[in-house]
């Protein structure tokens, strides 16, 4: 029996990076996966890759900051697959990397809009669907930067700290309905988000990987599958006694 057989899971930001790995691994373990993103070509390619491997996956365009799109997509996914059992609130942006006194309000709000409002809207609209199935699992992508400070990307830290506590509060509120909600806290994972951050700081890819690797006790950065397998666990019934928890997958970053 595959680990998430017969579950229907919606993944946001599924076209690239951690979200893409998550879609592929969930499908491999038997889930029907709704790959969603704003990058339509890359998102469709992930759904095609799932189908080519013999899994079930389709692509939907979804900007997580748009409430009407959430309503439309969850209605479509639900009628296409017969319900929704899980949601991975993965879409996120790194945002502006300046000291707090130099950040324009609009740049601050952009990060809050995607990283916090996106999680709020997804949770709000997925809960009634998951309730129809008498329970399920929501996974929110926070970060090591939702646990400790690093002195950079102030709005990102604020947004990921908020996601951590939104997760715990919603976990308590919905626990008796069998709806589990947990957060995942990756260390640095080599994805387009991190590559872009390095470019903006003037590093080449190798130099940035080395610099970041040194910040982790294991001596290197992680790869998207390191996080995807944790998410498969949280979506699966293997984690049925786990809610309101923070799954830290960080190569020891927060253990220093
Ligand atoms: N990569 C890391 O080191 C790392 C570490 C900790 C946490 N995270 C978190 O993991 C998640 C995924 O990160 P990643 O590194 O794979 O990022 P990424 O930039 O590689 O991929 C993010 C995906 O989200 C999509 N996206 C962005 N804004 C969106 C929106 N408004 N609506 C829908 N989709 C949108 C992008 O198109 C992209 O496909 C993010 O929440 C990020 O904060 C990443």
**What digits encode the pLDDT tens for the residues 62-88?**
999 999 999 999 999 999 999 999 999
Tell me what the mean pLDDT of segment 130-158 comes to.
98
**Tokens 């709005």 sit on residue:** 155
Check if 63 has its Cβ closer than 6 Å to any atom of ligand 1: yes
Half-sphere exposure (Cβ direction) of 98: Cα atoms closer than 13 Å: 9
Would you say residue 3 lies in a domain? no
Distance CA 66, CA 37 (A): 12
pLDDT for residue 177 is more than 90: yes
Active site residue 156: yes
Tell me what the mean pLDDT of segment 115-134 comes to.
98
Would you say residue 104 lies in a domain? yes
Residue 208: both structure tokens together:
């940035």
By C-alpha distance, which of 179, 68, 62, 181 is closest to 132?
A: 179
Q: What confidence score (pLDDT) does residue 1 get?
A: 84
Mutating to test ligand 1, I would choose from 11, 12, 19, 142 the residue with most ligand atoms within 8 A of its C-beta, which is 19
3-state SS, residue 35: strand
pLDDT in tens, 25-63: 999 999 999 999 999 999 999 999 999 999 999 999 999
Instruction: Work out the number of other CB atoms within 10 angstroms of the CB of residue 221.
Output: 24
Would you say residue 90 lies in a domain? yes
Would you say residue 67 lies in a domain? yes
For the chain, strand residue ranges (E) read: 8-11, 32-37, 56-61, 86-89, 136-141, 179-186, 246-249
**Cα distances (angstroms) measured from residue 79 to each of 56, 69, 74, 170:** 15, 15, 9, 26
Exposure of 225 by Cβ count < 10 A (0-12 exposed, 13-18 middle, 19+ buried)? middle
β-bridge mates for residue 33, sequence order: 9, 57
Would you say residue 231 lies in a domain? yes
pLDDT for residue 158 is more than 90: yes
Would you say residue 2 lies in a domain? no
Those residues with Cβ within 8 angstroms of residue 5's Cβ, 6 or more apart along the chain or in another chain: 29, 30, 31
Ligand 1 atom nearest to CA at 188: 3
Task: Output the average pLDDT for the chain.
Answer: 98
Q: Are 57 and 46 in contact (CB under 8 A)?
A: yes
Would you say residue 71 lies in a domain? yes
Task: Report the interhelical angle of 154-174 vs 105-112 (nearest 10°).
Answer: 30
Those residues with Cβ within 8 angstroms of residue 21's Cβ, 6 or more apart along the chain or in another chain: 223, 224, 225, 227, 228
Would you say residue 81 lies in a domain? yes
Backbone angles phi, psi at 246, to 5 degrees: -120, 115
Q: Is the pTM of this model over 0.95?
A: yes
Tell me what the mean pLDDT of segment 105-127 comes to.
98
Check if 114 has its Cβ closer than 6 Å to any atom of ligand 1: yes
Query: What is the biggest distance separating any 2 CA atoms in the chain, rounded to whole angstroms?
Result: 54
Q: Whose CA is nearest to atom 7 of ligand 1?
A: 143
CATH of residue 211's domain is 3.40.50.720
Query: What's the domain range around 170?
Result: 8-255
The rounded Cα 40 to chain-centroid distance in angstroms is: 18
Q: What confidence score (pLDDT) does residue 199 get?
A: 93
Q: Give the angle subtended at the CA of 143 by the CAs of 140 and 146, to the nearest 5°.
A: 100
pLDDT in tens, 184-224: 999 999 999 999 999 999 999 999 999 999 999 999 999 99
C-alpha 159 – ligand 1 centre gap (Å):
13
Number of domains in the chain: 1
Q: What confidence score (pLDDT) does residue 51 get?
A: 98
Q: What percent of the chain shows pLDDT beyond 90?
A: 98
């Amino acid at each position: 029996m595959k680990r998430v057989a017969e579950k229907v899971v919606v993944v946001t930001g599924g076209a690239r990076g951690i979200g893409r790995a998550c879609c592929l691994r969930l499908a491999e373990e038997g889930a029907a996966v709704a790959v969603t993103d704003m990058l339509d070509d890359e998102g469709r390619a992930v759904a095609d890759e799932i189908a080519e491997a013999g899994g079930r996956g389709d692509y939907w365009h979804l900007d997580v900051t748009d409430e009407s799109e959430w309503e439309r997509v969850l209605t479509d996914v639900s009628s296409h697959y017969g319900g929704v059992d899980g949601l991975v609130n993965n879409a996120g942006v790194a945002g502006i990397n300046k000291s707090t006194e130099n950040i324009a309000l609009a740049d601050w709000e952009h990060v809050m809009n995607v990283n916090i409002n996106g999680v709020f809207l997804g949770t709000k609209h997925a809960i009634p669907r998951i309730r129809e199935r008498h329970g399920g699992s929501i996974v929110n992508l926070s970060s090591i930067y939702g646990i400790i400070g690093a002195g950079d990307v102030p709005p990102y830290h604020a947004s990921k700290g908020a996601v951590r506590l939104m997760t715990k509060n919603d976990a308590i509120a919905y626990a008796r309905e069998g709806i589990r909600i947990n957060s995942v806290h990756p260390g640095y994972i080599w994805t387009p988000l991190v590559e872009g951050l390095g470019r903006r700081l003037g590093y080449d890819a190798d130099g940035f990987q080395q610099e970041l690797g040194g910040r982790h006790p294991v001596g290197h950065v992680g790869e998207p599958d390191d996080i995807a397998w944790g998410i498969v666990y949280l979506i699966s019934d293997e984690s049925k006694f786990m809610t309101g928890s923070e799954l830290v997958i960080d190569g020891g970053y927060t253990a220093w």
